[in-house]
Amino acid sequence: MQIIVTWSNGMTSELEVTVPPGATALRTSFDAPRPPTALHRQADGSWACYNQNKVLLGYCLPPKMAGRPIQGITWKEACADVAISHALPYFDQTEWERDRLLRVANNDKFHFHGHASEQDAIACYQQFLTDFGENEPV
């Protein structure tokens, strides 16, 4: 039996697998869950890259942020916002205000549209990390 694996970069690998006499394949490990990353496939098929473990999400904003002025929300507004306040233990007010000023300065880079490819979304996220002086999460 021949198995064709298509990789995220578009390349393919062909493998020949010997099928034991009288046996049929019942399941494969190809659909094993991926470890959580900042890379997300959206409902429309586009790609976005944002970290959900911190309030600093990335320039690609997740749907749950629609209608929120994430680019310029103040510390006081964040503390009052139930959807955001749970993440505030990761920050202190000084860090938050520093990041808020960076969000305001980079306001035009935030977006809800996805990217055509995984690599475009990753590049967008890496630009965000560079602009904000963050290290890529492990």
pLDDT in tens, 102-113: 989 999 999 988
**Residue-range definition of the domain harbouring residue 68:** 35-131
Q: What is the mean pLDDT of the chain?
A: 81
pLDDT value at residue 34: 59
pLDDT value at residue 54: 57
Which regions of 22-132 does DSSP assign to beta strands (E)? Answer: 39-41, 47-49
The H or E element spanning position 4 is strand 2-6
| Count of other CB atoms within 10 angstroms of residue 123 | 13
Spatial distance between the Cα atoms of 34 and 77, rounded to a whole number of angstroms: 35
Number of structural domains in the chain: 1
Out of 25-39, 96-110, 112-126, which region has the weakest mean confidence (pLDDT)? 25-39
Q: Residue 8 falls within a domain, yes or no?
A: no
Q: Residue 109 falls within a domain, yes or no?
A: yes
Q: Residue 65 falls within a domain, yes or no?
A: yes
β-sheet bridge partners, residue 3: 15
Instruction: Give tens-digit pLDDT for 46-71.
Output: 999 887 665 567 899 877 777 877 77
Q: Residue 13 falls within a domain, yes or no?
A: no
Q: Residue 17 falls within a domain, yes or no?
A: no
- CA atoms in the 13 A half-sphere facing the CB of 132: 29
Q: Residue 57 falls within a domain, yes or no?
A: yes
Assessment of whether the complete model's pTM goes beyond 0.85: no
Q: Residue 3 falls within a domain, yes or no?
A: no
Q: Residue 5 falls within a domain, yes or no?
A: no
Q: Which of 95, 94, 96 is nearest to 84 (CA)?
A: 96
